[in-house]
Amino acid sequence: MTLSWQSVLAIGSGGFLGAVARVYITSLSSHYIPHTIPYGTFIVNILGSFVMGVLFALFMHYSVSPHLKSFLTSGFLGAMTTYSTFAIETFFLFNISLSMALLNISLNLIGTIVAAGIGFKSVSKFLS
């Protein structure tokens, strides 16, 4: 699959703004909410997943350019959250198959934690 320069520009500019929004939101939450767990990440993931759901509902009812969709979903929300795409894909899987949705949740949750741990341990071992 090849991307047009317009799609790349839409995703890239959305990603820039989404990344800035993520840092801003997590910084605000760290400043105003006493925490021992990373509430900022939770907030951006919940907010981004909610907005992703809203956007997909709107996209089903209104004609929106593919570049705007890419800007908002892959770009902005993709950079702002670590979760919104996973959330909407899993939501749609629940409508098709409970077992496929639960498998997707399990693979993503366990797989990402294991991958992060392997990456961390590999580099830590290499550097020590």
pLDDT digits (tens, 9 = 90+) for 2-56: 799 999 999 999 999 999 999 999 999 988 988 777 788 889 989 999 999 999 9
Phi, psi of 4 (to 5 degrees): -75, 160
Q: Given a cut of 80, is residue 95 above it in pLDDT?
A: yes
Q: Looking at per-residue confidence, does 116 or 59 come out higher? A: 59
Instruction: Please give the distance of CA 55 from its chain centroid, rounded to a whole number.
Output: 14
Residue position matching structure tokens 């939450």: 29
**Start-to-end C-alpha separation, the chain:** 41
Rounded CA separation 86/80 (Å): 13
Q: Where are the alpha helices (DSSP H) in 33-128?
A: 39-61, 66-70, 78-80, 84-96, 98-127
Which pLDDT belongs to residue 1? 61
Percent of the chain past pLDDT 90, that is, above it, reads 66
